[in-house]
Amino acid sequence: MRGLYPGRFQPFHYGHLSVVKWALEKVDELIILIGSAQESHTLTNPFTAGERIEMIKNTLSEYDIPSNRFYIIPLPDISMNSIWAYHVKSYVPRFHKVIGRNPLVIRLFKEAGVETENPPEFDRINYNSTYIRKLIIENDSRWKKLVPKSVIEVIEEIKGDKRLREIVG
Ligand code: NAP
């Protein structure tokens, strides 16, 4: 059984990691789909698809999740929501269910006849990418408590915190 977990992961945080662990108890393999892969260097999407791949791959390795249990696949958005589920299907290995909470994502896959499952919410107040980006912009080091060590390392290596602050101006 293979599952698909779509997200922007801007950045990947402990909430996302908890969803991945939860999903891997239900499926043999998980496709982590990095959506909006064409986006980067903006306030809502500061990190490139490649940087997000590094964050996720390094984190799953940090947590000893075997690499044969997951795929990390970047995919640019398309302008037609009505065919997005088919667009996704044509770029990734076959999957049996979609794991996610985003209402548009759930609707589009349901309409395409794909089974969906909502993961629990994991401390959404803190494990929230918008909040984490806000803390980074405000130079508030509390963001480092909300993401895995591997994500901090990637962000520091690429000077992603400085990038975000400069985007805001
Ligand atoms: P995200 O904000 O990174 O979230 C990814 C998933 O993790 C969501 O299901 C989210 O639920 C869940 N999550 C986040 N924090 C959590 C926590 N603490 N506990 C439990 N679950 C948590 O990414 P997204 O914006 O949903 O990503 C959807 C992607 O699909 C985007 O790239 C979007 O552009 C793409 N998409 C593209 C098209 C198109 O190209 N036409 C159409 C639809 C979607 P919540 O939603 O509740 O935060």
pLDDT digit string, tens, across residues 129-165? 999 999 999 999 999 999 999 999 999 999 999 999 9
Closest CA to 4 of 37, 22, 21, 27: 27
pLDDT value of residue 103: 97
User: What CATH number corresponds to the domain at position 21?
Assistant: 3.40.50.620
pLDDT class for 109, splitting at 50, 70, 90?
A: very high
**Residue with the nearest Cα to atom 41 of ligand 1?**
81
pLDDT value of residue 169: 82
* Residue 33, H or E segment: strand 29-34
pLDDT digit string, tens, across residues 29-80? 999 999 999 999 999 999 999 999 999 999 999 999 999 999 999 999 999 9
Nearest-atom index, ligand 1, CA of 39: 32
pLDDT value of residue 137: 97
Q: For the whole model, what pTM was predicted?
A: 0.97
pLDDT value of residue 61: 98
Residue 43 three-state SS: coil
* Pair type for strands 115-117 and 2-7: unpaired
**CB-ligand 1 contact for 57 (6 Å cutoff):** no
Distance 7 CA to ligand 1 centre (A): 4
State how many domains the chain has.
1
Residue 63's domain comprises 2-168
